[in-house]
A and B are shown apart, each in its own frame.
Chain A
């Protein structure tokens, strides 16, 4: 299978089985660089499992996950983060008893260079790096609009702010590809509009966004290309208008007509 040079991520025949259950079955598609790409499908279709296969939390049973020209299937999660894939989680997973600022600074961990020696003796290099990291972390908080809450514990933020903080933390790893797992879940219409604006701003930074989302309005509006999963299989792929009218997609969501 040839890889499109314009694709930042390419899945080639990815299979994930848990015992007898096939959660992801022979899925192949390519995520073009610099766009918003969406993955949709009914509950239990295998969307999050696929995300986990990309970020290294699961090792695919078979298939290749090619990120920027190299196969990363089976890499450890911290390796994929180093390579430039960041993610958020469907059920928010922040470091609850750390401040919002520290959460973002953990995101920057992967781009920091201070060694153990620097840390113990707090060398001038370590001090300078800490200062820079703090400034950058504040910028990321500003970017998602929660800089007022920098010193609050992550767990004490409101729900919407926590979602934003997760995005800020992911952005702090300076990814090329950002995976958002249901970023609009539980949002009010107003918050959804703000989220879409935020996604536009992320794209403007040159980061490719790959998201799972249930809200069709958000998906149709924000994404350039959509892949639909059902029972672990890819049933459709294409631009929003095309996918929306695909009979198999309608069937998967609404059931077979009698």
Chain B
């Protein structure tokens, strides 16, 4: 208890510690509170929260590549696709119609690990020939890779059933599971538990565990020899090489480790949706994840997480709900005429619906104007923006 109090006092001014604590509390209480607030109809919300966890994982992974190692990756969704397809192909009836005529039913837990390693391998494979490129050139190559991979999966019809995608993926199972009021049921131990889609709380718990494990792992990496090498390469590649850092390997590891996160995020996503389709991994996904990292604070793990959560909820909850909300507001405040559809007026709901992406853009632009360093910046970015990278005055003083 005393130690806890000390820890609180020490970290009460540390924004990262506050963000971690807030996210932990929110994560623990979210299912219970939302079920209570909606009278037990919050399954949809909990499911959405589990999906937002996938994007948190993606943001954590991309932050390693972009934030730590300073390599701009515009095709990050490719690795997400690879993770999803790994699970889709290995854990469904899909491969019966393929040339091997045999359905593999690899258990989810093994597929999760496989997806991780296959995505990491793909990251290394992409990295090996391209990481000699610097800056903008690398970004263009990754952009190309991000376009190629989903198309590749779409065109490999015999293996992936093309545009239709792979559906009816295996349901992950566990020997037992503890359930309780947070999932709207009695406290009990369920045997031979199955992660069915109408039990979002189980998926929610699983993604929380994955996120926590990832944060611990990445945080360890950040403070390790490798994390320092990443930052050294980001700051000055030539000097890093002169200090004995193998820059090519270091960047390759950043790519592979970053990719591995989207690999297992992809496997989780595929399993939860029970569907893998080539349309879910387009350029817009890569850009969304990158925006999450930049918006949250590049190079800072809790920053990337906050950015991911914020953007996800804006994109998938706030904006889709906005038309109805506005229509209801108009009714409540007596502006019924706004909801009347005339040839010149589509109704306020439709109007807002058409404005959705303008709203989204405005939110992004205003955050970047008000906090260019991101919502929760690393100590580094704050300084960089305050002083300007090319400001030499700091060097000459004293």
Q: Which of B221, B241, B396 contacts A120 (CB 8 A)?
A: B221
B394 within 8 A of A: yes
With contacts A97-B235, A159-B395 taken as known, whether A119 is within 8 angstroms of B224 at the C-beta atoms is yes
Q: CB distance B236 to A94 under 8 Å?
A: yes
CA gap between A94 and B228 in the complex, in Å: 13
Q: CB distance A97 to B224 under 8 Å?
A: no
Q: CB distance B241 to A109 under 8 Å?
A: no
With contacts A78-B244, A82-B244, A120-B221 taken as known, whether A106 is within 8 angstroms of B238 at the C-beta atoms is no
CB distance from B293 to the nearest CB of A (A): 17
- Identify the stretch in B102-110, B178-186, B245-253, B333-341 within 8 Å (CB) of chain A at 4 or more residues: B245-253
- Identify the stretch in A18-26, A150-158, A190-198, A241-249 within 8 Å (CB) of chain B at 4 or more residues: A150-158
The chain A residue with its CB closest to the CB of B380 is: A97
With contacts A119-B224, A126-B224, A158-B397 taken as known, whether A93 is within 8 angstroms of B238 at the C-beta atoms is yes
Most central of B225, B242, B396 by chain A CB within 10 Å: B242
Q: CB distance B235 to A95 under 8 Å?
A: yes
Q: CB distance A106 to B220 under 8 Å?
A: no
Which positions 79-128 of chain A face chain B at CB distance < 8 Å?
Answer: 81-82, 86-87, 89, 93-98, 102, 105-107, 109-110, 112, 114, 116, 118-122, 126
With contacts A106-B229, A159-B396 taken as known, whether A173 is within 8 angstroms of B244 at the C-beta atoms is yes
How many positions in chain B have a CB within 8 Å of any CB in the partner chain? 33
With contacts A78-B247, A81-B242, A98-B232 taken as known, whether A153 is within 8 angstroms of B224 at the C-beta atoms is no
Q: Which of B229, B243, B383, B397 contacts A97 (CB 8 A)?
A: B383
A162 within 8 A of B: yes
Q: CB distance A116 to B238 under 8 Å?
A: no
A57 within 8 A of B: yes
With contacts A57-B242, A93-B238, A173-B244 taken as known, whether A118 is within 8 angstroms of B224 at the C-beta atoms is yes
With a CB–CB cut-off of 8 A, which chain B residues contact A81?
A: 241-244
With a CB–CB cut-off of 8 A, which chain B residues contact A33?
A: none
Q: Which of A57, A110, A157 contacts B238 (CB 8 A)?
A: A57
Most central of B221, B239, B241, B384 by chain A CB within 10 Å: B239
CA gap between A114 and B217 in the complex, in Å: 15
Q: CB distance A110 to B243 under 8 Å?
A: yes
CA gap between A94 and B238 in the complex, in Å: 10
A131 within 8 A of B: no
**Cβ contacts A61-89/B at 8 Å (1 or 0 each):** 00000000000000011100110001101
Q: CB distance B241 to A93 under 8 Å?
A: no
**Cβ contacts A158-169/B at 8 Å (1 or 0 each):** 110010000001
Q: CB distance B232 to A95 under 8 Å?
A: yes
B231 within 8 A of A: yes
Q: CB distance B245 to A106 under 8 Å?
A: yes
With a CB–CB cut-off of 8 A, which chain B residues contact A157?
A: 395
With a CB–CB cut-off of 8 A, which chain A residues contact B225?
A: 109, 112, 114, 119, 126, 129-130, 133
Q: Which of A96, A110, A130, A169 contacts B224 (CB 8 A)?
A: A130
B240 within 8 A of A: yes
CB distance from B227 to the nearest CB of A (A): 7
Q: CB distance A77 to B220 under 8 Å?
A: no
A55 within 8 A of B: yes
Q: CB distance B239 to A89 under 8 Å?
A: yes
CA gap between A106 and B247 in the complex, in Å: 12
List 8 A-B pairs, minimum CB-CB distance, nearest first. A110-B244, A81-B244, A119-B224, A95-B235, A93-B239, A77-B241, A158-B398, A122-B220
12 contacts between A and B (CB under 8 A): A76-B246, A77-B238, A78-B241, A78-B244, A78-B245, A81-B242, A81-B243, A106-B232, A122-B223, A122-B224, A129-B225, A130-B223
Chain B contacts to A: CB under 8 angstroms: 217, 220-221, 223-229, 231-232, 235-236, 238-247, 253, 380, 383-384, 394-398
Chain A contacts to B: CB under 8 angstroms: 55, 57, 76-78, 81-82, 86-87, 89, 93-98, 102, 105-107, 109-110, 112, 114, 116, 118-122, 126, 129-130, 133, 153, 155-159, 162, 169-170, 173
Q: A81-B243, A120-B220 are in contact. List 17 more A-B contacts (CB 8 A).
A: A55-B242, A57-B241, A81-B241, A89-B242, A94-B236, A97-B380, A97-B384, A98-B380, A107-B244, A112-B225, A119-B221, A120-B221, A126-B224, A126-B225, A156-B394, A158-B397, A162-B395
